[in-house]
A and B are shown apart, each in its own frame.
Chain A
Amino acid sequence: EVQLVESGGGLVQPGRSMKLSCAASGFTFNNYDMAWVCQAPKKGLEWVATISYDGSSTYYRDSVKGRFTISRDNAKSTLYLQMDSLRSEDTATYYCARLGLPGIDYWGQGVMVTVSS
């Protein structure tokens, strides 16, 4: 069974950093591109970042370029999202997602990040 379990969320002050992790199991992690998707409270889904199966290629939405870094450790089957210079508008639930299609086939349960002083 495919499982994606996020961790690392919580309350953080504006301008500070936070690192999210996503532990994957139930599939061969290094065969799949992975992504982070966010959902602000009561809002829709937004693409945040994507990383290729081997980590050689990444993609970021414009609003997080230069502030967020997606990475992966294939030996540990773990995906990461390093978030720096956080802003109030980054407040959202962040989902780890597997790109089993050209698109998402599995989602994690999500982790809440609240940016507030």
Chain B
Amino acid sequence: DVVLTQSPATLSVTPGERISLSCRASESVDTYLHWYQQKPNESPRLLIKYASQSISGIPSRFSGSGSGTDFTLSINGVELEDLSIYYCQQGNSLPYTFGAGTKLELK
């Protein structure tokens, strides 16, 4: 199975700052890497697909980059509503594994 390693596990943020979250794959997943946001007591929702493609309805402050084994989710100007857990998932080979998540908390 492809192992996805997310870092950091927890990130303390200040509203307005630009942040980057990392997801590293144990083998190449090309650009079959998606990002999800999960707020407390809610289902995850798709934020970014295929590493860098935006999703309708998702604020433009969210962006993704990367290919192969190294990927980044960036938030340009964190807002309080962004305090959530962020997961990456690979869609290159079954099972479509998830990373362990990065939790954004208020500094």
Contacts and interface: CB of A to CB of B under 8 A. Distances in A.
A47 B97 contact: yes
A45 interface: yes
A19 interface: no
Interface residues of A, number: 20
Given A44-B100, A45-B87, A104 B46 contact: yes
Interface centre among B32, B46, B95, B99 (most CB of A within 10 A): B95
B43 A105 contact: no
Interface of B: 32, 34, 36, 38, 43-46, 49-50, 87, 89-92, 94-101
Contacts of B95: 47, 50, 59, 61
Contacts of B100: 44
12 contacts: A44-B100, A46-B98, A47-B96, A50-B96, A59-B94, A95-B44, A101-B50, A102-B91, A103-B49, A103-B90, A104-B44, A104-B46
A44 B91 contact: no
B91 A101 contact: yes
